[in-house]
């Protein structure tokens, strides 16, 4: 458990957790369950505490029960070793789904009219590298969009996150796809500044839960993972279809950024475009 003492931002707690996880992995220690958040604070003191507990089967079973204790509110069982991001910030969790499980979506998700394909970890890492290049090449454009309504730092943050993903490419290629998503989530939480780190990190953690135990994804499985990501982002932002953005980087603008392209939406469109193009060119 990485417990904030009250005055340390959640983002910094995730960064600390990432460092702790790396130390544990280097020592061959596997975390059964990880909690990150402000559980037991000391007024608004800066800093955090790190607690490790050696578990037996009985204690594991206890940890897997939901808790409504004032200083320990969790939704219940989580994937072993996962940063419990959704629990820590009181966002709803998403149950793991099989490739054949139905998805609650407005549009068909991997239905029988879709050409079937299989997406491997190698494929997803290839896509990440292609996307990183596109984001890098459009730095001036994205920054100019962000500067019109905000502080102009979105490209720097998102580019830094993708640079770290590219650096971890070789490691991720050898992982099952569920662990690739989890790795991406942890890196984005620790490397991307601002709200984007939490949004992207939480979304990829949700994707990892949706395909727990999967080495590869079918078209249905990928659709499930993307749906989990969208649902997690909507839950964190308390967003619903049809809502207009009135908060965020443009909130202090008198016109709320009306008439301007949002830099975050543009970089997200790059990711969707690159994923679709990669699937069309290499998997179908």
pLDDT digits (tens, 9 = 90+) for 188-203: 988 886 678 888 999 9
Residue 58 pLDDT exceeds 70: yes
Token couple for 75: 């939704």
Reply yes or no on whether the pLDDT at 277 is more than 90: yes
Please name the helix (run of DSSP H) or strand (run of DSSP E) that holds residue 134, with its range, or none. helix 121-137
Burial class (CB in 10 A: 0-12, 13-18, 19+), 277: middle
pLDDT band at 283 (very low <50, low <70, confident <90, very high): very high
Mean pLDDT for 2-6 is: 84
Flag whether pLDDT at 222 surpasses 90: yes
Distances (CA, A) of 281 to 53, 122, 123, 138, 271: 48, 15, 11, 22, 15
Beta-strand runs (E) in 1-155: 2-4, 36-37, 48-50, 67-69, 72-74, 118-119
Residue 14 has pLDDT above 90, yes or no: no
First to last CA, the chain: 43
Taking the model in full, what pTM does it have? 0.62
What is the rounded distance in angstroms from the CA atom of residue 144 to the CA atom of residue 142? Answer: 5
> Alpha-carbon distance 57 to 35, whole Å?
19
The Cα-based distances of 141 to 94, 148, 182, 253 in angstroms read: 35, 11, 30, 20
Q: Looking at the predicted structure, is the pLDDT value of residue 157 above 80?
A: yes
Whether 101 has a pLDDT exceeding 80, the answer reads no
The pLDDT tens digits for 27-39 are 999 888 888 877 7
Judged on CB neighbours under 10 Å (0-12, 13-18, 19+), 74 is buried
Lowest mean pLDDT among 31-40, 67-76, 234-243: 67-76
pLDDT reported for residue 113: 52
How do residues 124-139 score in pLDDT, each as one tens digit? 999 999 999 999 999 9
**Predicted pLDDT at 171:** 96
Q: Does the pLDDT of residue 273 top 50, yes or no?
A: yes
């Amino acid at each position: 458990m990485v417990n904030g003492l009250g005055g340390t931002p959640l983002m910094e707690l995730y960064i600390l957790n990432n460092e702790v996880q790396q130390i544990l992995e280097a020592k061959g220690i596997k975390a059964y369950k990880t909690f990150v958040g402000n559980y037991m604070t000391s007024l608004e003191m800066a800093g955090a505490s790190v607690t490790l507990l050696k578990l037996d089967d009985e204690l594991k079973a206890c940890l897997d029960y939901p808790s409504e204790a004032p200083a320990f509110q969790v939704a219940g069982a989580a994937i072993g070793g996962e940063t419990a991001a959704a629990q820590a910030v009181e966002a709803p969790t998403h149950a793991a789904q099989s490739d054949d499980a139905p998805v609650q979506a407005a549009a068909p998700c991997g239905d029988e009219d879709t050409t079937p394909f299989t997406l491997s970890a190698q494929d997803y890492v290839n896509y990440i590298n292609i996307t990183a290049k596109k984001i890098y090449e459009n730095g001036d454009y994205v920054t100019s969009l962000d500067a019109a309504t905000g502080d102009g730092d979105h490209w720097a943050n998102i580019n830094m996150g993708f640079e770290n993903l590219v650096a971890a490419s070789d490691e991720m290629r050898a992982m099952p796809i569920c662990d690739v998503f989890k790795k991406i989530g942890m890196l984005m939480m620790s490397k991307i500044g601002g709200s984007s780190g939490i949004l992207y990190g939480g979304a990829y953690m949700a994707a990892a839960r949706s395909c727990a135990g999967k080495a590869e994804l079918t078209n249905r499985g990928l659709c499930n993972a993307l749906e989990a990501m969208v649902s997690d982002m909507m839950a964190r932002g308390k967003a619903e279809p049809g809502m207009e953005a009135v908060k965020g980087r443009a909130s202090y603008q008198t016109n709320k950024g009306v008439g301007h392209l949002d830099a975050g939406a543009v970089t997200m469109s790059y990711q969707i475009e690159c994923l679709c193009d990669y699937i069309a060119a290499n998997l179908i």
